[in-house]
Structure 1
Amino acid sequence: MTKFLPLISQLGTRHGSRSFRTCEYKCANQCDHPEPNTSGNEHIQSVMRSAFSRRKVLAIGAAGVGAAGVATLAVNSPAIADQTGRGAGSGSGTFPGFPQRGELTHGVVPPNREDNIVVPRGYEQAVIIGWGDPVLPGAPAFDAFKQSAEAQARQFGYNNDYTMVVPLRDDSKALLVCNHEYTDETLMFPAGKYSAAEIVKIGMAAHGMSVVQIERVGRSGQWRRDKRLSRYNRRITVNTKFEVTGPAAADPRVGKVAYGTFGNCAGGVTPWGTILSGEENFNGYFDVTGTVPAEYVDSFKRYGVPTTVTKTARLWSSVDPRFDLSKTPTEAFRAGWVVEVDPYDPTSTPKKRTMLARLKHEGATTTFTADGRIAVYTGDDERGEYVYKFVSAGKYDPDNRKANFGLLDEGTLYVAKFTGDGAADGLYDGTGQWIPLTSDKKSYIDGMSVADVLINARAAADKVGATRMDRPEDIERNPLTGRVYAAMTNNSNRGGTFPVDEANPLAKSHVRDTLDGPLVEKSGNRNGYILELSEEGDDAGKTGFVWTLFLVCGDPAAQETYFGGFDKSKVSPISCPDNVAFDGSGNLWISTDGNVLGSNDGIFTVPVAGPNRGQVKQFLSVPFAAEACGPLVSDDDKTAFVAVQHPGETDDATFEKPTSTWPHTDKFPRPAIACVWRRDGARVGS
């Protein structure tokens, strides 16, 4: 039985389902500040502009884990891509040899504002683990009125974002790994119960990551928390010791040791079974009580890090001087990295991999090059920032897991430049180039050392004329076709501060304030895009690519939307794509964050090939005011996982008067991870 909204109004939303409070806690209100990128580089919208004035189509819209003692996952096998995906041109709806199977037959969940996870008929859903559940031995049962930092450091953290499930030898068990991106103390704590210092310390402990053993329920697609608290279980917090690796570790601004990880958004899994987690909006955690060194000011400004007296909403500096840049200015250089964690070894020291660059990482997804090296894609999630790729120097060794542990420390870092073709072909498409910024041994940027490029990757990308994008988020390579899909969530300033171009064409788009309200035209790209890239020979090791806009998101009734050429009368409205994933048939799964069409966020499916290419269908919706994180489809396609983040995070909500109580175990909301499965035991989606 679904539950509807409490009788408290939704107030203060600033971008669809996202509230002012979400913006403050999640990204320090970055949309309220001038864009850090003042380079003047061409924006993706500019790439599209010339075609935008002439074209009508878009305006009218007719994992192999080869680990000793570890089970095996299928992860973006280049062998599969070689057999099924090579040679297809940009914008094509067919792929030579692509298996036309796994048709998406699930029912469509309509737009709604229910305070629950809503799934299609014939499906079930259940919570696996949520905020405060025990993770480590000695963790007390969760009690919102008896919280402590010590307890929280042994319990599941808050606001679970990126989620990955990796196998164990016993196929009835697995390890769930997730990020805890940020906290909302107004929803977490009863008023007057805790001191300011206690709230800060508990909030700090609720950040980081969790590793939790889960178990299958019978032979179904349902999974649940293993209450026996496995030896693999682990909590990583802002105080966990990290080893810093790669060329920037030798630089005094960074050093070889760092403590903690926070602001972790999306991530990825490596072929050797480790988890990558991207530190995203780290700038919102630092205060300034005095002055910062003059030599750091330009770098700080480029990343939105404060340079003048500032007190953030978190006040972490009140209990830890690391977060006062007047006292510890170099601490800002120890954040913004991709971290690597080995879920199979809870005693291992997690790593910060500096060759993957210092950015506001939305994620870090891996694949193979044709010759067996590792490529990692990542987006820098802010308006006007760039898309990056790293290619390792060494090759993956499937027979020696530990031999792969240093692959992410040596190789070449690239940034993307997009060019529109300007042809009157009815498509927004063109070519592109991965421009090298640095290898581990040589910088390609005049006046910048290897460490300079990695620490200030934004400045390096500015210098080579990379293309500014609309909040580049998750980037994934389809393991069956070899094509790469990148989510561009939105940019309300597109057409203003950011001119349109062929890759970012919208100066105006349509939104809906309420579920049944009219479509209203507003400036900018409000609903986002999905870009499709085809690299040379579908080889992730190549530097050239062709691209097309696969989806221009929004309500299908809006003239600017486009769904891969599919009939717009037969698709679900979709707004603000955030993360992407693939099922075993190569279908794309998309989660959304900040829906501006009057309904809750959710997870959507869409074929990328065949006659139904572009047919977006809503698979589930998440509770009121929540963000849908993930998605993740299990290797056997029996389970879809979704991380429900910040349910009920509206500006009028408090612990005592919440606007969501999901998952309805308490009188207040608790972010949690859930699974969805078919009652008949068949594959999800199809």
Structure 2
Amino acid sequence: MEDSNASANADIHALCDPARRVVLRGGLAAASALLAPLAACVSTPPTRLLGFTGVAVSRADAVLVPPGYVAEPIYAWGDAIGAPGLAPGLPAFRADGGNSAAEQALQAGMHHDGMHFFALEGAPPSERGLLVVNHEYTDEGLLHTDGAAAWSAEKVAKSQAAHGVSVVEVQRDAEGRWAVLRPSRYARRITATTPMRLQGPSAGHALVRTALDPSGTQIRGTFNNCAHGVTPWGTYLTCEENFVGYFHGPAEPDAHARRWGLRPQGNGYRWHEHDERFDATRHPNEFNRHGWVVEIDPFDPASTPIKRTALGRAAHEGAFVMQAIDGRAVVYMGEDARFEYIYKFVSRDAVRPGGFAANRELLDHGTLYVARFDADGSGQWLALTAGQGGLDAAAGFASQGELLVKSRQASDRLGATKMDRPEWIAGDASTATLYCSLTGNSSRGQAGQPGVDAANPRADNSMGHVIRWTESGGLAGTRFAWSHFVLAGDPANERAEARGNANGAEFASPDGLWLDPRGVLWIQTDVSPSAMHRGEHARLGNNMLVAADPRSGELRRFLTGPVGCEITGVVTTPDMKTLFVNIQHPGENPGQRNDPANPTRHSSWPQGLAPGGRPRSATVAIRRLDRGVIGS
């Protein structure tokens, strides 16, 4: 059913958005047009959303926030999760990297990423809740006492325990400060060895069966968990991103393995030496069992996480969920890899009242689409359905289960638009408008690689951009109109008002996105440590959190992080008086992992959180000293 209000809003935006008018008229050449504020074509400018004083570019080894705000680390790598039956501080973090694998499984994992705050029943919704936090990957140089010089079964087990997801209970005290409650009956770690189920069309398919699991339905673990999603029925979606690099591949991979980047040496993880699952020469289907969206019930620590194959297999950055006007769930997903795709899943059935118990199979049935961005500013969602559009047995897609394992190959065949590393997606259901961050693509336009196109208009795109689109006919529709929200980096590529606005904020490599209930779009950046000190990136300092007003186009820098870090995982409490942000890999060393012999050479953040000198990823709680709404 068409959402007439959304369609009307889309028409107004199209008329009042000069960038979209130029794109519609001029194709590729217009793709770099500047985005003028909507206020330019209405008689009364909208109320200003951003009320804080922007912070300056920084290279300090600290988290810097506007005047009147305070940022306090509350949950760092190695902190006890508060497991039931254990004393509050146990197992304690050892600054020399000496914690065992068993201890690490009861502590915060490494490299915090996507995150959500779930309010708990029986308490004021913004005073107490569960923080669910992804732990993307590990820095073996910091994780182990002697670094990664020699691997052992214990080191592999500890590395696997430092991946995955945390569930911790947090509470705000009378002074407004937050702390993890220990012990807690909700406290849980989900790791690279946690038992899980595979459900949906690919469950049981020959491509996911192994000697260790002939059924193709029982899987151990999740890892490289990047961004996330939250369902209307109260569950958490964690997304497996760069999973292929954990596997030791064959010297001569077949076409399927090559399309997914499986190679003999992986990305330096040597788990296969002590966990045979990760040796793809012995268990070639194991790597097909990863790269999925995983659903977790945060309120039931005994529940089994479920890998939802109907949402497709990809290097999933995140899974942003909204409800269509007819009640169906719509899940938007980006695949963070060069020249990969943006996806949308529309459930077959409407969301039912009754929480997770009433919606346990909702994400197992529906249609997966991949996006094509056309040069005239229009776009189409192409259905990834076996037997349609040339996706048949002759092309290697004999069933929907096989197609979903080969989502990339199916998207290739349909001619979807190859994007510049699509990452987080955020949106406004009332207008059916979505935003996607594209961190960049230095290979765009290089020899033998795809050239520029309307949606990805810059060769050697080292700065990234944010694209937006409005769905035609509501969220479940198959057509949309798109434009560039911002081309990051060089001010000549940004909006005109940002260039002349003292409160404008230049940034590069947009990564995390979140649209808060007031309509502020929060943009987190991830300039790699290797790029941070050269060329145009050098003047932008450390990674940052930028607040944007989509209506006026105003940008303000809200936060800068410590040396070498990535900013990620933004979310507020329901009252919007606390902002949680994750500081990932502080002190990460360009070109190599950190040295355990000199761990603070690049960063000693977070100082004072716990004894010891190793830099530690951590969740930070940010609040206004006057207890007002964040950003207003």
TM-score (norm 2): 0.85
Match of 2:202, SS? helix
Q: Look up the equivalent residue of 1:532 and give its one-letter code.
A: R
Aligned to 1:208, which of 164, 168, 176? Answer: 164
Q: Look up the equivalent residue of 2:478 and give its one-letter code.
A: T
User: Does the 8 Å contact 1:628/1:642 carry over to 2?
Assistant: yes
Aligned to 2:65, which of 82, 103, 119? Answer: 119
The answer to whether 1:344 aligns with 2:299 is yes
Residue aligning to 1:379:
334
Q: Look up the equivalent residue of 1:454 and give its one-letter code.
A: L
Residue aligning to 1:627:
566
Q: Look up the equivalent residue of 2:431 and give its one-letter code.
A: T
Structure 1 residue 252: deviation in Å?
2.2
Equivalent-residue separation in structure 2 for 1:587 and 1:621 (angstroms)? 18
Q: Look up the equivalent residue of 2:78 and give its one-letter code.
A: G
User: After alignment, is 393-402 or 362-371 more displaced?
Assistant: 393-402
Equivalent-residue separation in structure 1 for 2:31 and 2:455 (angstroms)? 13
How do 1:316-355 residues align onto structure 2 when only pairs under 5 Å count?
A: 316-355=271-310
How do 1:53-68 residues align onto structure 2 when only pairs under 5 Å count?
A: 53=29, 57-58=33-34
The answer to whether 1:437 aligns with 2:437 is no
User: Does the 8 Å contact 2:339/2:420 carry over to 1?
Assistant: yes
Q: Look up the equivalent residue of 1:551 and give its one-letter code.
A: V
The answer to whether 1:273 aligns with 2:234 is yes
Match of 2:338, SS? coil
Structure 1 residue 682: deviation in Å?
0.3
The answer to whether 1:485 aligns with 2:485 is no
User: Does the 8 Å contact 2:197/2:218 carry over to 1?
Assistant: yes
Residue aligning to 2:77:
131
How do 1:257-406 residues align onto structure 2 when only pairs under 5 Å count?
A: 257-288=218-249, 297-306=254-263, 309-310=264-265, 312-399=267-354, 401-406=356-361
The answer to whether 1:580 aligns with 2:513 is yes
Structure 2: runs of 5 or more not aligned: 1-22, 209-215
Equivalent-residue separation in structure 1 for 2:451 and 2:24 (angstroms)? 9
Residue aligning to 2:548:
606
Per-residue CA deviations over 1:489-510 (Å, capped at 9, x if unaligned) read: 1011223323112211123xxx
Q: Look up the equivalent residue of 1:490 and give its one-letter code.
A: G
User: Does the 8 Å contact 2:308/2:364 carry over to 1?
Assistant: yes
Equivalent-residue separation in structure 1 for 2:164 and 2:320 (angstroms)? 19
Structure 1 residue 592: deviation in Å?
0.6
Residue aligning to 2:135:
180
Aligned to 1:148, which of 100, 109, 123? Answer: 100
User: Does the 8 Å contact 2:31/2:484 carry over to 1?
Assistant: no
- Cα distance, 1:680–1:305 mapped onto 2, change above 3 Å: same
Equivalent-residue separation in structure 2 for 1:101 and 1:213 (angstroms)? 36
The answer to whether 1:532 aligns with 2:468 is yes
User: Does the 8 Å contact 1:480/1:586 carry over to 2?
Assistant: no
Residue aligning to 2:49:
103
Residue aligning to 1:167:
119
Structure 1 residue 112: deviation in Å?
0.7
Structure 1 residue 111: deviation in Å?
0.8
Q: Look up the equivalent residue of 2:295 and give its one-letter code.
A: E
Residue aligning to 1:66:
none
Per-residue CA deviations over 1:168-192 (Å, capped at 9, x if unaligned) read: 0112210000111100011233337
Structure 1 residue 403: deviation in Å?
1.4
User: Does the 8 Å contact 1:393/1:411 carry over to 2?
Assistant: yes
The answer to whether 1:458 aligns with 2:408 is yes
Match of 1:329, SS? coil
Equivalent-residue separation in structure 2 for 1:464 and 1:140 (angstroms)? 51
Per-residue CA deviations over 1:460-495 (Å, capped at 9, x if unaligned) read: 001111011000001121245331000011011223
How many percent identity over aligned positions? 40
The answer to whether 1:494 aligns with 2:444 is yes
Match of 2:156, SS? helix
Equivalent-residue separation in structure 1 for 2:280 and 2:291 (angstroms)? 15
User: After alignment, is 244-253 or 336-345 more displaced?
Assistant: 244-253
Residue aligning to 1:681:
627
User: Does the 8 Å contact 2:111/2:617 carry over to 1?
Assistant: yes
How do 1:501-580 residues align onto structure 2 when only pairs under 5 Å count?
A: 501-507=453-459, 524-537=460-473, 539-556=474-491, 559-562=492-495, 567=500, 570-580=503-513
Q: Look up the equivalent residue of 2:470 and give its one-letter code.
A: S
User: Does the 8 Å contact 1:443/1:453 carry over to 2?
Assistant: no
Equivalent-residue separation in structure 2 for 1:404 and 1:99 (angstroms)? 43
User: Does the 8 Å contact 1:624/1:647 carry over to 2?
Assistant: yes
User: Does the 8 Å contact 1:552/1:563 carry over to 2?
Assistant: no
Q: Look up the equivalent residue of 1:662 and give its one-letter code.
A: W
Equivalent-residue separation in structure 2 for 1:193 and 1:530 (angstroms)? 37
Residue aligning to 1:655:
596
Q: Look up the equivalent residue of 1:631 and give its one-letter code.
A: V
Residue aligning to 1:217:
173
Q: Look up the equivalent residue of 2:465 and give its one-letter code.
A: Y
Equivalent-residue separation in structure 2 for 1:505 and 1:257 (angstroms)? 43
Q: Look up the equivalent residue of 1:654 and give its one-letter code.
A: D
Q: Look up the equivalent residue of 1:122 and give its one-letter code.
A: G
Residue aligning to 2:110:
158
Equivalent-residue separation in structure 2 for 1:162 and 1:190 (angstroms)? 27
User: Does the 8 Å contact 1:144/1:188 carry over to 2?
Assistant: no
Per-residue CA deviations over 1:243-266 (Å, capped at 9, x if unaligned) read: 100010020222111110001100
Equivalent-residue separation in structure 2 for 1:376 and 1:57 (angstroms)? 29
Equivalent-residue separation in structure 2 for 1:49 and 1:501 (angstroms)? 15
Aligned to 2:363, which of 369, 390, 408? Answer: 408
Structure 1 residue 193: deviation in Å?
11
Per-residue CA deviations over 1:80-100 (Å, capped at 9, x if unaligned) read: xxxxxxxxxxx856999x995
Match of 1:408, SS? helix
Per-residue CA deviations over 1:388-421 (Å, capped at 9, x if unaligned) read: 0000000011245411121100000000001122
Residue aligning to 1:590:
523
User: Does the 8 Å contact 1:95/1:481 carry over to 2?
Assistant: no
Equivalent-residue separation in structure 1 for 2:349 and 2:457 (angstroms)? 39
Equivalent-residue separation in structure 1 for 2:312 and 2:108 (angstroms)? 29
Per-residue CA deviations over 1:346-374 (Å, capped at 9, x if unaligned) read: 11100000001000000001000110000
Equivalent-residue separation in structure 2 for 1:102 and 1:662 (angstroms)? 34
Q: Look up the equivalent residue of 2:506 and give its one-letter code.
A: P
Higher relative contact order (CA 8 A, sep 6+): 1
User: Does the 8 Å contact 2:504/2:556 carry over to 1?
Assistant: yes
Equivalent-residue separation in structure 1 for 2:135 and 2:346 (angstroms)? 28
Q: Look up the equivalent residue of 1:586 and give its one-letter code.
A: G
Structure 1 residue 107: deviation in Å?
1.0
RMSD (Å) for aligned C-alpha atoms: 2.7
Equivalent-residue separation in structure 2 for 1:243 and 1:259 (angstroms)? 8
- Cα distance, 1:581–1:564 mapped onto 2, change above 3 Å: farther
Structure 1 residue 49: deviation in Å?
13
Equivalent-residue separation in structure 2 for 1:229 and 1:676 (angstroms)? 24
User: Does the 8 Å contact 2:424/2:513 carry over to 1?
Assistant: yes
Task: Give the number of equivalent residue pairs.
Answer: 571
Match of 1:397, SS? coil
Structure 1 residue 209: deviation in Å?
0.6
User: After alignment, is 174-183 or 250-259 more displaced?
Assistant: 250-259
